[in-house]
Amino acid sequence: MQAVTLNNGVEMPIVGFGVFQIPEDQTQAAVEAALEAGYRHLDTAASYGNEEAVGAAIAATGLPREDLFVTTKLWIQHAPTGSVEDETKRAFDSSLRRLGLDHLDLYLIHQPLGDYYSEWRAMQQLHREGRVRAIGVSNFHPDRLIDLIDHNEITPAVNQIETHPFHQRATDQELMRERGVQIESWGPFAEGRNNLFTNPTLSSIAEAHAKSVAQVVLRWLVQREVVVIPKSVRPDRMAENLDIFDFTLTDDQMSKIATLDTGASLFFDHRDPAMVSWLGGRRID
């Protein structure tokens, strides 16, 4: 599996398997099938409610721990009278316990909301203690990312953001490259929104390579050196989504896909006050 090298030297497989919105009672089977298909990089989050099932699948397959790259995410921590740093360490321990692991490969701040500077300080400490190989963020717009970098010791290794043909993030990626932050796409297929799977531009490129639209989208991201974590509950699609290393998109095809960019989210804006308030009020445990 092709890998990217993070800013601290850790190698991260460029294709992983995402488990958002897989119901808890289906997650173990899905992750076992994904590991069987050849995925070695898994992406979950405390807020997905399925870390235990991911851990059960890891245990059931018995793969050596060092062959796996496991990411989970810290939900927004609340400590009105206490310490957000302590709450972050407690949340990290809970995630590790649910996953049945003794260390993580990547721990991400899930949202750029709340007291994430305290969260980051705690994560830096967890990293120094060797309990997590790399730390990063998710859903950070450039302004917040740069501010976090400029006022802390460790630069996030990764920023996991919505990235797909309709929201391509080329400028954000360039800035992240300058600062040593690896871009990782969430929602590579935009969850099928905007009729992605039948888009005429993507379909004609897929036809030219005898590949599917899904494979063209993932190939386009990987050629841009974007880490991808497609989700599927279907083993045939899990295999299809891994089978993207035997063809190359031409410069002309890359340019055609570039024209699909709308420069806007198809989901929600992390700067929308109503969304900030809704996410910030959400408690997961």
- Which residues of the shown chain bind ligand NDP in the complex (CB under 6 A)? 18-21, 43, 110, 138-139, 160, 186-192, 197, 212, 214, 229-234, 237, 240-241
CB nearer ligand NDP, residue 110 or residue 131: 110
Angstrom distances, CA of residue 16 to CA of 46, 129, 200, 266, 274: 18, 26, 27, 22, 32
CB nearer ligand NDP, residue 122 or residue 229: 229
| DSSP per-residue string spanning 137-200 | EES--HHHHHHHHHTSSSPPSEEEEE-BTTB--HHHHHHHHHHT-EEEEE-TTGGGGGGGGG-H
Residue 266 Cβ vs ligand NDP, minimum distance, rounded to whole Å = 10
Residue 25 Cβ vs ligand NDP, minimum distance, rounded to whole Å = 15
CB nearer ligand NDP, residue 114 or residue 187: 187
Extract the tokens encoding 80: 């009105």
Residue least distant from ligand NDP (Cβ): 18
Residue 82 Cβ vs ligand NDP, minimum distance, rounded to whole Å = 26
Give me the active site residues, please. 48
58 dihedral zone (left: phi>0; alpha: psi -120 to 50; beta): alpha
Residue 49 Cβ vs ligand NDP, minimum distance, rounded to whole Å = 13
CB nearer ligand NDP, residue 90 or residue 237: 237
What does the angle CA 239 – CA 244 – CA 248 come to, to the nearest 5 degrees?
Answer: 165
